[in-house]
Structure 1
């Protein structure tokens, strides 16, 4: 279009292309296009041009760049609108900067720019995630005062805030308000409340909400099932969890990786290891895309059950499955080896970690140090303590307790006391 000159692009053309760049994650190209507009006579960037890029930058948490562009827009005499401010508020909220978000809200109000329900929802959600439910309620009051009615997203955020604080009676009250207002309750509303009840180990109440969903013409989704299955597993009701897992598939809701992780963890923690291994084998046979989280759960379960050989075989076969072990995998394996007296192999695994691109962290060092101490290898444990401190890690409470116990028995070098002081 530019080269031919027969059909000159206008601001709509540029804005459309700019949005395309932003949607594809190419903010740089979008900004360059903004500069290109200035070269075209009669095609000045407008509020849509700037707001499109500001929104994209905020979504990518490039807040400084977004504010720089915002300042440039103001300097050009372009007045920001509710979309511009909502994008900035969303951006700072993603970084947990709720004070900055409040300042932006006050600023837009002072300029006569009225926030919409999306703007308020961003603030409510941020306050609730920060545990500041009273502040979230205050924002909702401002909404209502400005004749902006809270929607399902608003109430879901508030309910989630109460659930995070363990205030389930208040969370249920919000849920009941939503029901009283008609069709405001959605599947996510039920999942949030179910998760709150499960977290508080109130499984009967969680199940009650689950059973009420068909009456509300709501179909439980994968998240709903996974949440309830996890809750059942955590209180030891593994048979009910397995039945719900089967029911889920019978209803056409396919389990995702998170669902499988939940049921595998429940099986391993409730002494159903053979069933867990069978399920893993079935998952592999179905060629599901399994990540390291799934294998970590089973490897840890095998180690805890004393099946160290099986755990070792599964660990060693990960690469052939196209899955790379991470720090947790190595640490779990090191713990299992130490627990069963294979301390030489455990240290060898520690030394191999760096070469595999997953250097040991503080948890890894504390795990192997405790393993050495429990296997009466105090001199080697002392050497590892020194190495751990040199790498910037410190002894945790469990390791400290073992070290203090050794010092009280005079079974280790008194020089360890200096190391102990350094790690506090």
Structure 2
């Protein structure tokens, strides 16, 4: 990460002091509840490498084999597979080494081409081993080509002429592939199949399946599998096993069960690591047992001199105390963290700031900015400002919320979809549609919702402005942002209806029909009002064929049209000489 210039740090410091003074003077003292917009765990650490360190990190020049692999992969990625391509590959590498084959497989972007390359190398005399077979299986599984992966797995012994035997790692790969695709039953079938052909599952097999079961909430099945692992197969659980179990049961609101597994680790002579403790602390905090979580962390300190809480541990506790509105305790945890030589990161500060906003303790926020911004310890980011925007909007202080947006622009902090959606929705709820539309225009022009950085947009939050625009002859403007939201993969059935009915009011029925088709493709079921409005409008416009298609879709949606609807469509088709 680039070092932030001192001028910008000072700018943040001035902003922190002046801006939060204005907040503390003008903000409402009524407590407001904020959604959990900052409850995530990822942070970007500052990289303050010296010039010497950079010299040590200079990448060595690629070897001849690496260059050859890159060239071959580039050819395969850019051209369709053909005899000409095979001829080019042969000329590049008359004799294939293990390194070249493995590196090329890693660099091929299309799974089907990777499999073609794998088969081509074998035809040309390359003897694949268990490593290359495993890599090919992983490529197919990770890209969800699961039927191909399954077929490939059961062809390994035949393809290799018996030199590569089926073992647990191949089955583990396929189990994980099905798990990533959400196909729990298929993962279980692979597990049962490997047992039926005499391949003993390893601890990795059980860990993979336990993780899949617990992510799907199958806690009873997970307990039975764990018992089978110990008693039937005599497989010894490792630290990773217990981490999966503790996290899985905590995330399924079974913290006591998670705590039981934590205690069982010592009986199994398995030492907990920092991930174990962080997982348990997080589960206890989510269950509201923050003091118990704090005691667990204290026990961690006594356990071993080599086992110490990290930034995640302390940040989790701060979040837990903030959720309990126990701000003094959260500040004590922050102090303890700093006293132990740990540097709070952005997530730590943002979590604390959210808690302070919920408690309306704005003076303390000002102190944090005064104490950290000047020395560059904490630079407010988008999440920080989103918290403040939401707090002001919930308190009815829309002018203050808009000032936060202005400061973001001044300080070159990029607003995201959450920033705009909260402001636009609050302005609509307050009846200030003019300013809401201005922000909406800015959102559309900058295509902010298409930015992968920041929060995932929530379509429903834009429905108030969609409703306003569609009732005021501006459906096309609303649809522009709606389609941007669709590109991000976010959907909301009521939004479709708002836009389709807007098109019906504006006599743009073909555009409404196009949205109807998109709605059906995404397995949303339009209601009767949508169908009847479109059919009536299309008939009025003389679009009998489109009206007929709409009627057919209405019947497929299990809606029963009025008898008159059939008559009107038939009459219009006869009139335009387009009868069935």
Query: Which range, TM-score by smaller chain?
Result: 0.7 to 0.9
Paired residues of 2:315 and 2:347 also in contact (CA < 8 A): yes
The whole-number CA distance in structure 1 between the counterparts of 2:227 and 2:374 is 51
The whole-number CA distance in structure 1 between the counterparts of 2:239 and 2:197 is 28
In structure 1, what is the equivalent of residue 227 of structure 2?
176
- How is 1:82-231 mapped onto 2 (pairs within 5 angstroms)? 82-112=130-160, 113-180=164-231, 181-231=233-283
Higher relative contact order (CA 8 A, sep 6+): 2
Q: Is residue 311 of structure 2 the alignment partner of residue 257 of structure 1?
A: yes
Paired residues of 1:82 and 1:116 also in contact (CA < 8 A): no
The whole-number CA distance in structure 1 between the counterparts of 2:397 and 2:204 is 53
1:98-153 CA distances to partner (integer Å, 9 max, x unpaired)?
A: 34433432453541453332222121122223222221122223323443211001
CA spacing shift, 1:218–1:413, aligned 2, 3 Å:
closer
Paired residues of 1:125 and 1:136 also in contact (CA < 8 A): yes
In structure 2, what is the equivalent of residue 299 of structure 1?
353
Under a length normalisation based on structure 2, what TM-score does the superposition of the two structures give? 0.58
CA spacing shift, 1:88–1:295, aligned 2, 3 Å:
farther
The whole-number CA distance in structure 1 between the counterparts of 2:112 and 2:410 is 37
The whole-number CA distance in structure 2 between the counterparts of 1:25 and 1:336 is 51
1:155-188 CA distances to partner (integer Å, 9 max, x unpaired)?
A: 1111111101101000001111112133421122
Q: Is residue 67 of structure 2 the alignment partner of residue 32 of structure 1?
A: yes
The whole-number CA distance in structure 2 between the counterparts of 1:308 and 1:133 is 48
Q: Is residue 432 of structure 2 the alignment partner of residue 384 of structure 1?
A: no
Paired residues of 2:293 and 2:317 also in contact (CA < 8 A): yes
User: What 5-or-longer segments of structure 1 have no aligned partner?
Assistant: 1-23, 37-42
The whole-number CA distance in structure 1 between the counterparts of 2:180 and 2:366 is 40
1:1-41 CA distances to partner (integer Å, 9 max, x unpaired)?
A: xxxxxxxxxxxxxxxxxxxxxxx7977764227799xxxxx
Q: Choose 1 or 2 for highest CA Rg.
A: 2
The whole-number CA distance in structure 2 between the counterparts of 1:376 and 1:314 is 35
The whole-number CA distance in structure 2 between the counterparts of 1:314 and 1:370 is 30
The total of aligned residue pairs comes to 387
Question: What is the CA RMSD across the aligned residues, in angstroms?
Answer: 3.6
C-alpha deviation, 1:260, in angstroms: 2.4
Q: Is residue 435 of structure 2 the alignment partner of residue 400 of structure 1?
A: no
CA spacing shift, 1:65–1:99, aligned 2, 3 Å:
closer
In structure 2, what is the equivalent of residue 245 of structure 1?
297
C-alpha deviation, 1:344, in angstroms: 4.0
The whole-number CA distance in structure 1 between the counterparts of 2:230 and 2:204 is 14
Under a length normalisation based on structure 1, what TM-score does the superposition of the two structures give? 0.77
1:231-287 CA distances to partner (integer Å, 9 max, x unpaired)?
A: 211121111111112112221331233322321211111112222122223323444
1:49-88 CA distances to partner (integer Å, 9 max, x unpaired)?
A: 3344247548xx7969966864663464213222112112
CA spacing shift, 1:268–1:35, aligned 2, 3 Å:
closer
Match of residue 278, structure 1, among 328, 332, 351: 332
The whole-number CA distance in structure 2 between the counterparts of 1:35 and 1:376 is 59
The whole-number CA distance in structure 2 between the counterparts of 1:251 and 1:111 is 52
